[in-house]
């Protein structure tokens, strides 16, 4: 980089860094140094222009956060106005005896032209503006800012949970989740800043009233005592100048107060204020028709201004008729392609036998817009996100999801199938949003009560307009597409072992062969067949162990293949090799692992029973199995209530059987063997199961 480029960068950085100090120095100069009338005219004009620009920017802003600098700008504009009040007060008191133009043409124009030179009228107009600004606009905006700040802070946990839910289901990536979290934080900061900034505007309105009376009293005293003016002349000069000065300051203040009120009462939308008003106010012909009828009835009453009422009645009547005509136009019916019969029927072939879909999603006809991109459906993109996330987590490519409509389903139903077998079915409302109760909320919502199809939590289908209110109460709010995508993600993760077959296993070996060709060559098919390796991978996935570390899996199988060909025994060896990852996935990096264990007597009984069983299935009396099942469920619930992962530590020989048994008794419990505890971790026994199981 040459010297010229470096100098230009320094100049640019310096210009940006000196902007705020220069503005503050200008405000300090206006307070300390007397300004000539021409400078006052320029500053007053700039103040009015700034207020107009800010108000127009607020009107055309679609979301409040797009104008996040507004609180700081509101403070600077308020300080500018107060500095101008000080500067103009000095000029009015020093030069007011010379006439109406002593403080510049702008103040003279507002004091003479706008109020007709009548100081009584000017005083009344000024007081009315102050009352409107202080009592109505500023007070209302401050209250809305305060409530919005509190509600935004209350809604932050629900919004954060919604972001985490979208991230966990693969609908968004880490970057988008980080962006959305920053947006939530910025929203809370914005409304908090607006709550404070509204106090500045309110204080400015009070200061305007005090400055008015101080200037009038001071001007009369100076004019009569120092310049020997009679009372009426002093009153005429100083009061008109003071009122003109107050009006010049109050009009920009009213504009900024209105801007603050607009921006805090805005609801985030893709339209500006004008677009929202037109789209929401003029959509119902009934409202316009009733308004036109009322105006018409008032217009035909004798003694009323008939022309004005009848003329204005025609406008809403015409608007109502136009909207009604537009709504009467029939909606374009969806084009349905009909299968036409071929002139000649060809012979059947194997191509006519359609294979079973590995992953299928069937939807009712009212849910078709969710999967139709032409109608704005986002479900297809979200399903791709789910597949991408699960593929990265599990370690193999999740097959494509075949989506089709099914007229046998109810209109609002969807069905998830794996290998042609229906695994889950639920009803949703595409035009509503689902407010899920995560466990603690601060109120109830109006809507259709239901259960979250994925996790079975209490939920309510609500209108989209209730979303912010629901999040404020602590609900996690998601749309219909997110409900389907999350449910699909959970089902695919639970049934991932059924999605991995010989073809996927071969793809894993092909990828490993690029970096470790000798390992692949020695393992398959020399040591183990592809079928055995596939079964081992399916066993791991069935126990929620990812196969991402396929190199470690392959090396372990290559070491153990000469000892046994049993998939169960090889799966246990692989689990030991992957133990660090398994434990870290369960409890993170904590050194101490809280676990439950079996009573030694019960554990020995299970080992003897399994050894005596030829098929590897325990055969003990049903009463013991029932007591063990209840004990597992109670222990799992107690550990989860304490905020801990439910982990049961057992001897290695009975771990596979216990994992299958606990899958039905306590689905949330993880079964580990003593061999699977890494050397750098310690166990902490917090519960013993089966103290009375053998009685």
Q: Are 590 and 643 a contacting pair, CB within 8 Å?
A: no
Across the range 605-634, mean pLDDT stands at: 74
The dotted CATH code for 355-495 is: 3.40.30.60
- CATH class label, 582-695: alpha beta
Cβ neighbors of 428 (< 8 A, separation 6 or more) are: 367, 412, 414, 434, 453, 461, 480, 483, 484
pLDDT tens, position by position, 520-576: 999 998 899 999 999 999 999 999 999 999 999 999 999 999 999 999 999 999 999
Higher pLDDT, 348 or 337: 348
Across the range 303-324, mean pLDDT stands at: 78
Q: Is the peptide bond preceding residue 525 cis, with omega within 30 degrees of 0?
A: yes
DSSP code per residue over 614-673: TTS-----HHHHHHHHHHHHHHHHHHHHTT---EEEE-GGGHHHHHHHHHHH-TT-EEEE
Domain locations along the chain: 19-268, 282-324, 355-495, 500-577, 582-695
| Interatomic CA distance for residues 230 and 247, integer angstroms | 25
Cβ neighbors of 223 (< 8 A, separation 6 or more) are: 96, 97, 229, 233, 234, 237, 238
According to the model, what pLDDT value does residue 606 have?
A: 84
According to the model, what pLDDT value does residue 102 have?
A: 59
Ranges 2-11, 53-62, 396-405, most confident: 396-405
| Interatomic CA distance for residues 317 and 334, integer angstroms | 33
Task: Give the total residue count for the chain.
Answer: 695
Higher pLDDT, 310 or 675: 675
Query: Mean pLDDT of all residues in the chain?
Result: 80
According to the model, what pLDDT value does residue 579 have?
A: 92
According to the model, what pLDDT value does residue 55 have?
A: 84
Provide the terminal-to-terminal Cα distance of the chain, rounded to the nearest Å. 85
According to the model, what pLDDT value does residue 335 have?
A: 43
pLDDT tens, position by position, 360-404: 999 998 998 898 877 878 888 889 989 999 999 999 999 999 999
Among the listed ranges 88-92, 262-266, 562-566, 643-647, which one has the minimum average pLDDT value? 262-266
Q: Which helix (H) or strand (E) holds 93?
A: helix 70-95
Across the range 125-154, mean pLDDT stands at: 70
Given a cut of 50, is residue 3 above it in pLDDT?
no
Given a cut of 70, is residue 253 above it in pLDDT?
yes
pLDDT tens, position by position, 176-213: 778 877 887 777 777 777 777 777 766 777 777 777 77
Higher pLDDT, 72 or 506: 506
Across the range 94-113, mean pLDDT stands at: 66
Higher pLDDT, 151 or 215: 215
In this structure, the number of other CB atoms found within 10 A of the CB of residue 691 comes to 12
Reference 127, options 270, 243, 253; nearest CA is: 243
Cα 688 to Cα 594, 631, 691: the distances in Å are 12, 10, 7
Angle between helices 231-265 and 139-168 (to 10 degrees): 20
Homologous superfamily of the 500-577 domain (CATH): FHIPEP family, domain 3 (1.10.8.540)
Given a cut of 70, is residue 342 above it in pLDDT?
no
> In terms of C-beta density within 10 A (0-12 exposed, 13-18 middle, 19 or more buried), how is residue 344 classed?
exposed
């Amino acid at each position: 980089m040459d010297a010229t480029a470096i100098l230009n960068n320094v100049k640019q950085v310096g210009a940006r860094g000196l902007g705020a100090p220069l503005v503050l120095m200008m405000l300090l100069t206006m307070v300390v140094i007397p300004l000539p009338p021409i400078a006052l005219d320029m500053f007053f004009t700039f103040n009015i222009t700034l207020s107009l620009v800010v108000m127009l920017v607020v009107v055309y802003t679609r979301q409040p956060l797009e104008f996040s600098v507004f609180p700081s700008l509101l403070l600077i504009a308020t300080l500018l106005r107060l500095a101008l009040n000080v500067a103009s007060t000095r000029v009015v008191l020093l030069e007011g005896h010379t006439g109406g133009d002593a403080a510049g043409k702008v103040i003279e124009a507002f004091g003479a032209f706008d109020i007709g030179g009548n100081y009584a009228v000017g005083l009344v107009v000024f007081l009315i503006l102050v009352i409107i600004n202080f009592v109505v606009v500023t007070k209302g905006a401050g209250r809305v800012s305060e409530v919005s700040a509190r509600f935004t802070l209350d809604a932050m946990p629900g919004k954060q949970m919604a972001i985490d839910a979208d991230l966990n289901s693969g609908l968004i990536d880490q970057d988008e989740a980080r962006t959305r979290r920053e947006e939530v934080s910025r929203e809370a900061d914005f409304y908090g800043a607006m709550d404070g900034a509204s106090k500045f505007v309110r204080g400015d309105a009070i200061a305007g009233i005090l400055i008015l009376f101080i200037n009038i009293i001071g001007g009369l005293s100076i004019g009569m005592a120092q310049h020997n003016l009679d009372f009426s002349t002093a009153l005429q000069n100083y009061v008109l100048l003071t009122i003109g000065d107050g009006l010049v300051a109050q009009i920009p203040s009213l504009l900024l107060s209105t801007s603050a009120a607009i921006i805090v009462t805005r609801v985030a939308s893709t339209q500006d204020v004008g677009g929202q008003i037109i789209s929401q106010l003029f959509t119902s012909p009934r409202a316009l028709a009733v308004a036109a009828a009322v105006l018409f009835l008032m217009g035909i009453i004798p003694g009323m201004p008939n022309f004005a009422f009848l003329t204005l009645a025609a406008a809403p009547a015409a608007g109502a008729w136009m909207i009604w005509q537009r709504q009467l136009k029939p909606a374009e019916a969806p084009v349905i392609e009909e299968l036409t019969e071929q002139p000649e029927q060809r012979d059947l072939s194997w191509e006519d036998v359609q294979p079973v879909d590995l992953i299928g999603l069937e939807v009712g006809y009212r849910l078709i817009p969710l999967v139709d991109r032409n109608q704005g459906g986002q479900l297809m993109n979200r399903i791709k996100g789910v597949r991408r996330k699960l593929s990265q987590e599990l370690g193999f490519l999740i097959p494509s999801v075949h989506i089709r409509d099914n007229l046998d389903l109810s209109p609002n139903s969807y069905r998830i199938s794996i290998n042609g077998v229906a695994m889950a079915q639920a009803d949703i409302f595409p035009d509503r949003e689902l407010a899920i109760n995560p466990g603690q909320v601060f109120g109830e919502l109006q809507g259709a009560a239901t259960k979250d199809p994925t996790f079975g939590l209490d939920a309510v289908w609500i209108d989209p307009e209730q979303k912010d209110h629901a999040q404020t109460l602590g609900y996690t709010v998601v749309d219909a597409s997110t409900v389907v995508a999350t449910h699909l993600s959970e089902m695919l993760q639970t049934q991932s072992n059924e999605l991995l077959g010989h073809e996927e296993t071969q793809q894993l070996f092909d990828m490993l062969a690029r970096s470790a060709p000798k390992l692949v060559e020695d393992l398959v098919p020399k040591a183990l067949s592809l079928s055995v390796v596939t079964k081992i991978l399916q066993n791991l996935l069935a126990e929620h162990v990812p196969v991402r570390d396929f190199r470690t899996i392959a090396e372990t199988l290559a070491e153990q293949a000469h000892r046994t060909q049993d998939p169960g025994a090889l799966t246990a060896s692989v689990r030991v090799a992957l133990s660090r990852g398994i434990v870290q996935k369960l409890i993170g990096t904590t050194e101490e692992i809280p676990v439950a264990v079996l009573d030694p007597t019960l554990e020995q009984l299970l080992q003897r029973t399994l050894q005596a069983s030829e098929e590897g299935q325990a055969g003990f009396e049903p009463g013991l199995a029932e007591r063990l099942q209840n004990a597992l469920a109670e222990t799992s619930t107690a550990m989860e209530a304490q905020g801990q992962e439910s982990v049961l530590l057992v001897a290695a020989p009975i771990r596979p059987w216990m994992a299958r048994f606990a899958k039905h008794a306590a689905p949330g419990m993880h079964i580990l063997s003593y061999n699977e505890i890494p050397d750098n971790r310690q166990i902490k026994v917090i519960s013993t199961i089966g103290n009375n199981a053998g009685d």
